[in-house]
Each structure stands twice: as C-alpha cells, then as structure tokens.
Amino acid sequence: MRSGIRPLLVGCIWFSLVAVLPMGAQKTTSTISGTVTDPSGAAISGAEVIVRNDQTSLTRSTKTSSEGGYAFPELPLGTYRVSVSSPGFKQAVETGVELHVASTAVVNLQMQVGAATEQVEVSASPVQVETEKGEVAGLIQGTQVRELPLNGRSFVQLTQLMPGVAAGDNFDPKNKGLFSAIDMSVSGGSSGGNLWTVDGANNNDVGSNQTILVFPSIDAIEEFKIHRNSYGPEYGQSGGGQINIVTRSGGNSFHGSAFYFGRNDALNARDYFLGLVDAKKQLLRRNDYGYTFGGPIIKDKLFFFWEQEWNKEKRGIVRTALVPTAAEKLGDFSATDAAGCATAPHIPSTGVPFPGNTIPQDQLSPAGLLYVQLYPDPNVANPTGCLNWIAAVNTGIDWREENIRGDYNISKSSTFMVRYTQDSWKNTSPSYEEQLWGDDPFPAVDSNWDQPSKMLIAKLSKTFGSNTVNEFQFSWSANRILISNGGTNPDLIPQINAVIPTAFPLDNKQGGDQHPHLVFWGGGGYTELWHIAPWQNRQDLYVWKDDFSKVAGKHTWKAGFLYSRNGKDELTFNGNEFGETGGAIDGTGNVIADFLLKGQTFDYDELQREVDTKQRWRDYEFYVGDTWKLRRNLTLDYGLRWSFLRWPYDAKDQTASFNPLKFDPALGGDPCNGLEFPSANPCAALGFAGGSRGINRSLQRNRNNLIAPRLGIAWDLSGQGKTAIRAGVGEFFNREHLNLDGAFNPPFNSSVSGVVRTLDANCDPSTDPDNCPAAGFGTPLVGFDRSGVVPNTWQWNLTVERELWRDTKLEVGYVGSRGIHLLTFTNLMQVPPAGRLDFVRNPNDGDLRASLRPFGSAFGDQNLYIIGHKGGSIYHSLQTQLTSRFRKSSIFEASYTFSRLISSTALTEYNFSDSEISDNTNPRVDRGLSSYHRPHIFNASLVYNLPTLQGQNRLLREVAGGWEVGTIVTESIGPALTFGIGDVSSDTGIDQISGTGRTDNQRPNRVVGEPCRAHGGLPFQWINPNVVTLTGFQLGTIGTASRGMCQGPGNNQVDLSFYKNFKLTEKLQLQFRMEFFNAFNHTQFKSVDTDFNASDLALDDPTTNADGDAINATRIISSTPGSTFGQAQSTRGPREIQYGLKLIF
C-alpha cells in the first residue's frame, strides 16, 4: 500500500486542492446540506434556503446552486428549522432537524406548485442514514448521557457502547481524576493514541495519554461523538479514536436542574474476596450533588450556561496480600505456614535452619525491624491460598467542578463562544489505586493525591456572504499533580530514613528526611514496597487553530491549521532516586528474614537526586479537503493533513541520548561515551572524554514528510437516504506520549550502583572498593532512534447502512487498521544467542556476564535501551450497530464486534516490559494477540419512557404514569494474557533463564494440549496453572508461550435504572431515581497473576562452584508454578445501588 497507493493519493489530492488557501482539528460544528427539487424531481436553482436554530434563533440563508444543491457548514449543534422559498412554489419547511456534533444532516426538500404564501411542513426523522461521509463514527446523544445508569456519573462509560471499542483490564469509568483509567483501544489502535477533546480543546494528560484533565458533568454535556476509523483530514494529533465532547449552552428560555445522588453500603452487596473470609462489606458513603442553570442575558443575542457539581466519597477498597505475622516481624518463624506460602529461613553460611526457626535477638537488624513494620499483621486465620491479609481499606475521594459557558450572536454573520472549566480532584490516603505510580498498598504509609485541572476555550465564527465560514479557536488545557505523604503512620517514613542511611545527603532529596523510604521490589510472594511522595507535575497546552469552509457548486472546500505550544514539568522516578534493593545477596530463603538478619548484604542503587524534567514541544498542522457531490446520491470526501509533530526537548537541555555510532571502544566506560547532547557537550568540563552535540535539541530528527491522505466515498443507493454504502481509507499520525528517560543519562546526576551494603550502614569505598564503588555518573542508559519516525496507522472500512423503518437503522461494516512504527524498546546490550547459556548459569560472575554483552567490556553487566518504533499491529473486525428512536425520547442501541487484533508490541505506551523486544535476533517471537484482543464484544443500552397516561384519572396518572427505565448491558471476552517467567530463586545457581539479560519480558514454555481455562478448584483460579511450564526449559533459550495466548476473565454486567417523573408544573419536573450497578451481582474477576514464579525448581545438574553458580546445568527438570499463578487478584466490584432526586426546569 505504501509503495503504490499513497503517492498516487497524495499526488491527486494535492493537485486538486493546491489552489485552496490552507487556513485545525477536532471539529464540533456541523453541516446541513441537501437538494431542492420540483414535483418531477428536477433541480430548482436560485431558491432561497433559510436555517434557524430553535434554541438561539441563529439564522443563516443561501441560494441553491444550478444543480439545486445547498450547504450550511460550521453550524453549532442544536435543532433547526429549514425552509425554502421560490416563485411559483409553496414554501417548503422541515422542522425538528437535529444537528449533532461533527455531522452532516441531509435535508432534501421537494417543493409543490402553488402560491408562495402557502406552506408545506414536515417533521425530520431524528435517525438518519449517513450518506455524506466514508468515516466510521458513533453518536452518544444528550438523552443517553443524562438518562442511562452511569456508575460514577461519568460520561467515559458511554464510550463502551460503540462497536470496535475494547476496554483494557484497567479501564475504570466510575472514577474521575488520576484514577479514571481511560484505558481502551478503538478499532485496533493504541490505547495512548486516542484524543479526547471538549468543545475542540485537547483534554489529554500527555504524560501518559491514559488519563484526561477535566470530566464535564453529565448534566453539562450536550452530546459527544466517537470517530472510530477513516475520519477526515480536519482531525489530527491522533492515530486512534477521536472522542469529541460538546458542552451545553444557554438559549432563549431559562433551563436548569438541581440534583442529589447518594450511595450507602447498607444497600450494596459484598465483595467476593471479603465473602471468602466472612468479612463485612466495604464501607461506602457517596454524596453527589450540584446544579445547572442556563438561559438568555439578551434574547436572541447573548446566552449563558453555568454548572457546579460536588462528589464526596468514602469507599472501602479491598486489598489482598501475603504479609509476615507479628511474630515473624520480630524474627520468630516457628509458626511459618506449612502449606508453603512462606518458607522457614536458614542460616546463610550453612544452610541449616535457625534454632527453633527463630533469629536470635542479638542478630536482629534495627533497620530491618523498623522497615518490616510497613507490612500490616495478617487478619485471615485460615487463608484461601496464600493471601493472609484481606482488608477493606477506607479511602476518601473528593471532586468538584465549576463550568461556565457564554455564547454571543454578535451579528447575523458573527458568533463568539467562551467557556472555562475547572476540576478539583483529591484522594486522601489511603490511595484508592493500589501502587499506582508507587504507593505502598498497606495502611501505615500512603499518599495524598491532588489534581487541579483547568480548561479555557474561546471561539469566533464569521460568515462571509452566504457560502463561506471561518472559525478561529484558542484553548488552554492544564493540570497539576501533587502527591504528599499520608497513611495511618506517616512518621514511620522519617524513622526508617533515620536508620537506613542514604548514600547522598538529604538536602539533595525532595522532602529531606521525609523523602520516600527504601524501595523493595518484592520477592518470595511478598508485595513490593514502593513509595514516591513528595512528587509534583505540571502540564500546560496552548492551542490556536482555524477552520475555513466554502461552498462552491458541487464542492464544499475546507482548510485549516493548528499550532500548539506545550509544556510538561515532571519529577521522574524509577525507584533508585531514594535507594532500592531486592532480597539479600546470600539469602535465608525468606525475604522478611533477609531484612531482619543483622549483617545481611543487599545489592543497592541510589541516585543523588530526583530528575526534574521540563519538556517543551510545538506542533504545526495543516489540512485541506473537499466534499464533492459527484451526483445527487454519490459523495466523495477527500483531503490530506500535513503534520509537523516536533519531538520534545528539555528546556534546561539536561538530557542525552546514546548513539551506538558515536561509541568509541578506546574510551571504555567513560560516562559520556556515545552520548549526544542537545547543546554544548557538558562532559569536557567534568573531565570526561566522550560526548558530542546532537542533531537538535530533541536529539531526534523532526520529520517534515508526515503527509496523511484521507479518502471517503458515500453512495446513497436510492437517493432517498434509506440505504447507503460507504467506504474510507486514510493514514493517521500519532502524537506520542512524552518519554523522559534521557534525563537519567550521565552526566546530570551522580549515583551509586552495584553497592553491596547492609540496611543499617553505608559501606566505605575507601576500605572495600570492590563491593562499595564510589559515587559516579554511571554509564549511558538510554538512547533515542535518531531517525525520528512517527507512529502511524492506515485505516480502512467498507460499511452498509440501512433504514429498517422510520427512526430505526442498522449499520454493518468491515473495519480494519494497520499500525506501523509503533513504540518499542531495543536492548543494545542484550546477550547474543551464543552466550546466553553461560549467562544463565553464572549469576554471581559479573565480569563474565558483562563480557557476554555487547558494549559489556565498557559498561558492564547492565541494559542499554534504544527507544524506537519497530512495532506493528493488524486489526480486522466486523462491527454492527442498531439504533432506534421511539416514543418521543426513548432510545435503543445495540452493538456487536467480532474482531482479531495482533501486535508485536504493547498497545499501551506505558507498558515497558511488553514493548521491549524479547529477542533482537528474532523479533517475530513477540508477534501475537494483543492484550486488547476481544474476539466478541456485545453492548446494548435502552432509555424507555413509559406512557404518561395523560387523560387518565389523577390517581392512576400519578401512580402508574411517568415511569422511565434505563439499562446498559455489557458482554465481552476478557483481555488476552501474556505469561512471564517471573522470579527464579537465586539459590538454584541460575538466574534470568532465557539468558538475554532481562527477565521481565521473557516467557515460559507452552504445554501442548493443556487448556487455558482452569476447571474445578478455586473459582478465582482462572488460568490452568499447567498451561505453561518451566519443566524441560532449555536454559538460554526463548520460551514457546506466545503473546496473548489465553483470554482472561471478561466483563459481563447489567446496569439498571428506574425513574419516576412527577410533573409539578408546565415547566417544572421532579425525577426520583434508583440505579443498580451490576444489578444481578455477577462476580467479574480481573487482574490475573500472569507470572509463573517457579518454586521447587530443579536442574539436570545442580552442582555449583564456589560462587554458587550451577555452571554445568543445561535444563530445568522440574518446577512448580507460584501459588497465585493464574489467579484473579480482584473483581470489578459487587452490586451497588444509587438513589437520587433531580429537579428539572
């Protein structure tokens, strides 16, 4: 496709459009177009067509062309009246024309012969077949937004009603702020490739592209649209879905609402895991209240809309873990679980158990005794499996929003809109999300999270004559993220820091003695301890854009530009800013005992300070396009977008990139060897010989050839808008999330690495230089692909849409996409195949291991990554949707998706392990089913208004009339799971059994014939633990288990709502609401443990040398999966009931 079609498309489109002056993206306005004919079907030229907005009286007029056609581009959404007049004909009027976001309403009018004073009026159908564009898109109407049962009153849940949308396992629509987890793939795209906008303003947090900034109240949303595939050139910045939200505005009549919604755990069901230990259900107190008010300031001229909402929630979060007992935290392991959930420790020097399985008091480490207090005591006497701590931890989340919008009809030809929104979101400790970004999961030490977000948008629209419109927009989108210490015992942090001394002075650390405690990365079944507070982040996005439209005969030309100036300041963290470790080097067999035994030594790393990055970047985009009515029933929609997506740079120029072509073997381990810098080389002043200036401040080539053609065609078979065949194809470039890793390269931060020390004391480089290397700048850690290729996708579709009967339509389409140049991480120091066996069986010989790695003689036994774009994906799907409107405002929708999504990298930009190439010599081993592969997804929603029983007696009318029912039904296969090797005990004499130099992205062997799904046993044992194995694993080889080889637990849920509407006066209505989320309390497991974490591992030759290395081993002859392998760790939540009152006028 790239070698043939793309140059032809670009050439044809550019030749057609070069004469049009290019003047952004994410349109919120829409078009009314159509054809005017006489009774015989002949075109009427020169007829006057007038459109008028019912809410604001905005009026525009034009004349029909020689072919009888007309178009009104750039209209704000709303309900319109369309009238046409021509001498000798009766006036034709169509009312109730609903104009939705970024859509085209086709209004074909046939005039009758008669006096112009006579009028023929018809009502428009609210459900129209799309006959103008080749895109695949779906609309969520305001009625659905406000009347469907939405858990958390968040519009995000409604995205799942669209076909082709696959939610990630972390998708959580009930939360706002940082815990919203908008993790979803749209038509096979990356989850970070989606662009969320509000009134056209960017709403993404670009640090991850996995959270958004503001959450417009559902009572402040007019409607929103999801562009899922093959959309036009006016949409940029994204290669995935475009979620386009439009807020409500005021009108010529006052309207508004006041509401209260509440929840209490007394009405709810109990979480499944709490039921296992007969614990009481988790606390829930939720109060959501607010109001809206809008109307005219000057009739027909100036309007306002104001909204304010508060949400205060206290919720018990279920957490599970294996934790040490109170006795074990004092060194007494005599009662260690005989089931094997934890092992009795032994004396490291002899391998003999401690007397009575208890560490003598005089051998206990004061630092270790304090550190293990981060773990709570068990609260489950007879655990199911190894989880002896199950708790409903109570956390508080407060959210508040203010939103004000003004609309001004300056004149008949000019309008102005301005809106300001601010969200305040706070999560006081304990953190709602366990270990999100680094939060201890236990109550003692936790974090307080605070995210204020703001958005300002101003838009000016100007009509020139009757056929030309220009719209200019400015927006500012911003947030701050502030994390501070919390928990039930936050004083434990300075106490731990006082007894576990850091290698560098505290004045280099954020928070001084309140800096995060030592990081433990987990092991032996015990949860990692990782804490990052205090921490902060800042984002500011400034965007200017312009959209120009001109109707000329059969053509509607469009052109535009977008310019953005952006900044993101962020403290980076990877653990070793504050010191990090795993288990002891010569372990006791129990990691808790490792911490407690005085004199135990640990591998230890620490950075001098947290790295403070200040990322800056600018984007420039231009587009041009045309909607060409080839015939009355055949429309060609084509164009191109030319993007200049600049790679970010650091405002302080404190970043670097490793370039293997600049590496000089003669310089050896010089910290700057092979590094490129954005400005003058800082290394010479520090006495280093390496380093050079890079190609620009971004250290990557900025591509100027990002020309993306778009082509769509729509054929209205009968010309009556009943049946349409549509197709579209196009290329889309993606603004990738920020990557800050270059700031960890030398020489901007000093560090100690490979230190062997105890918890209680620092080591001394002067007395033990081998085990205690002096602080230095380290060696290069990361580089960027200098070619600067930008991720992009090709998208295509072939869709048939048919009106089944009035106000009901069915859409069936084949939708596909191909991802190109997707994000990957290549380890330049990955061990080649010839050296992998020796690497595995010499875990304690660092010099040998280093010699087996490329660049190892200079940089030692470590990893060095190039952040590049070698990944790809392919997606094929059948997407269907049925839409029906009935009984005034009742709406039914159902969608089904049958699909297959294959990728060679993670389609989440934050998943490092799944994006790292497992074997540089054979990258195809990473090709498999993506975690977003969902072969079957079904969704249905209903808003049904029962008869009001007007005309019946009052008692019957008040009791039985005015009821409303709503439901959302979700049935989906779960995520495709990829299994990892996990931990291999160091006392076996081997490590990193694939031998590549990394474990996190390596997989075990698949057992042929074993089913994925477990049958019998524990209900939450989702995966058959025998489906993969390490038994028979040839050391130094790549496992045969493929990416995404098994499907995890799915989403099967019914949400229900029942409302009673009381009509108090002609314009005042009271609504009583009861909403049931997971109404039938169906247990839905999630978060399956996918790491094998072998225990009882045996080798074909277990003989070890003096260093403890199994130098003759070649194969694993037996292994047992870890106790929690294949088990779901949590659920999507039990039934919750919400009650509410709403006053509407």
Whether residue 961 has pLDDT greater than 60: yes
Residue 887 has pLDDT above 50, yes or no: yes
Checking if the pLDDT of 736 tops 90, the result is: no
Structure tokens at 469: 């419109």
Q: Is the pLDDT of residue 557 over 50?
A: yes
506 versus 192: the higher-pLDDT residue is 192
Identity at 220, one-letter amino acid code? A
Overall average pLDDT of the 144-167 stretch = 95
In this predicted structure, the answer to whether residue 133 has a pLDDT above a threshold of 80 is: yes
Q: Is the pLDDT of residue 1115 over 60?
A: yes
For the chain, what percent of residues have pLDDT higher than 70? 95
Instruction: Kindly give, in sequence order, each residue whose CB lies less than 8 Å from that of residue 10, ignoring residues fewer than 6 positions away.
Output: 640, 707, 709
- More confident call, 320 vs 468: 468
Q: Is the pLDDT of residue 1078 over 90?
A: yes
Task: Round to the nearest angstrom and report the end-to-end CA distance of the chain.
Answer: 56
Tell me: pLDDT of 716 over 70: yes
- Kindly write down the DSSP assignment for every residue of 66-128, as one continuous string: TTSEEEEEEEPSEEEEEEEE-TTBPEEEEEEEEE-TT-EEE--EE--BS-TT-EEEEE--SS-
706, 643 Cβ separation under 8 angstroms: yes
Q: Residues 339-355: pLDDT tens digits? A: 567 678 888 888 888 99
Burial of 1143 per CB tally in 10 Å (0-12, 13-18, 19+): middle
The predicted pLDDT at position 129 comes to: 93
* % of the chain with per-residue pLDDT over 90: 61
| Three-state secondary structure call for residue 8 | helix
pLDDT exceeds cutoff 50 at 7: no
Going through 116-254 in order, the beta strands assigned E by DSSP cover: 119-123, 136-140, 165-167, 184-186, 195-198, 201-202, 221-229, 242-247
Average pLDDT estimate for 531-536: 84
pLDDT-derived band at 1045, boundaries 50, 70, 90: very high
Residue 753 pLDDT greater than 90, yes or no? no
Mean pLDDT (the chain, rounded): 89
| pLDDT score, position 700 | 94
Distance of alpha carbon 376 from alpha carbon 381, whole angstroms: 14
Cis (ω within 30 of 0) for the bond into 665? no
State the sign of the Cα–Cα–Cα–Cα dihedral 786, 782, 866, 236: negative
Give the separation between CA 1128 and CA 276, rounded to whole angstroms.
Answer: 14
- pLDDT reported for residue 902: 98
The mean per-residue pLDDT over the stretch 733-748 comes to 85
119 pLDDT band, cuts 50/70/90, is confident
Is the pLDDT at 1074 greater than 90? The verdict is yes
Residue 985 is predicted with a pLDDT of 66
Residue 438 — pLDDT band, cuts 50, 70, 90?
low
- Overall average pLDDT of the 774-802 stretch: 93
Cα separation, 59 vs 40, whole angstroms = 30
As a whole number, mean pLDDT of residues 361-379 equals: 90
Q: How far apart are CA 365 and CA 666, in angstroms?
A: 45
Q: Which of 169-178, 261-270, 868-877 has the lowest mean pLDDT?
A: 169-178
pLDDT in tens, 598-630: 988 888 888 888 888 899 999 999 999 999 999
Provide mean pLDDT across the span 864-888.
94
pLDDT digits (tens, 9 = 90+) for 301-348: 999 999 999 999 998 877 888 888 898 899 998 886 655 676 788 888
Q: Which range scores top for mean pLDDT: 261-270, 349-358, 485-494, 1011-1020?
A: 261-270
Residues 6+ apart with CB under 8 A from 541: 202, 206, 475, 476, 477, 478, 564, 566
As a whole number, mean pLDDT of residues 1079-1089 equals 94
Q: Is 355 in a helix, a strand, or coil?
A: helix
Q: What is the DSSP string of 483-549?
A: EEEESS-TTHHHHHHHHS--SS-GGGSTTGGGSPPPEE--BTTBPPB----SEEEEEEEEEEEEEEE
Q: How many CB atoms lie within 10 A of CB 59?
A: 14
3-class secondary structure, 661:
helix
For 47, the 3-state DSSP assignment is coil
Determine the pLDDT at residue 287.
97
pLDDT: is 486 or 248 the higher one?
Answer: 248
CA pair distance 722, 805, nearest whole angstrom: 9
H helix intervals, 843-963: 846-852, 856-859, 912-915, 954-960
pLDDT score recorded for residue 137: 94
What's the pTM value of the predicted model, to 2 decimals?
0.89
Predicted pLDDT at 14: 36
User: What's residue 812's pLDDT?
Assistant: 98
Joined together, the tokens standing for residue 50 give 């007038």
Measured in residues, the chain has a length of: 1145
Instruction: Print the SS3 string covering 590-622.
Output: CHHHHHHECCCCEEEEEECCCEEEEEEEEEEEE
HEC string for 383-435: CCCCCCEEEEEEEEEEEEEEEEEEEEEEECCEEEEEEEEEEEEEEECCCCCCC
pLDDT at 940: 98
Q: How many CB atoms lie within 10 A of CB 466?
A: 16
Determine the Cα–Cα distance for residues 308 and 422; give it in Å rounded to an integer.
Answer: 10
The average pLDDT across 469-481 equals 96
* Contact criterion met (CB below 8 Å) for 175 and 397: yes
Does residue 649 register a pLDDT over 60? yes
- Burial bucket for residue 19 (CB in 10 Å: 0-12, 13-18, 19+): exposed
Assign 392 a pLDDT band (cuts: 50, 70, 90): confident
Q: In which band, very low, low, confident or very high, does the pLDDT at 280 lie, cut at 50, 70 and 90?
A: confident
- pLDDT of 12 reads 41
What's phi and psi for 1143, nearest 5 deg? -105, 125
Check: CB of residue 152 under 8 Å from CB of residue 177.
Answer: no
Q: Given pLDDT bands bounded at 50, 70 and 90, which one contains residue 578? A: low
Q: What is the DSSP letter of 959?
A: H
> What is the assigned CATH class of domain 5-128?
mainly beta
pLDDT above 50 (res 915): yes
Confidence at residue 395, expressed as pLDDT on a 0 to 100 scale: 85
∠ Cα 497 503 509 (to 5°): 60
Question: Looking at residue 13, what is its pLDDT?
Answer: 38
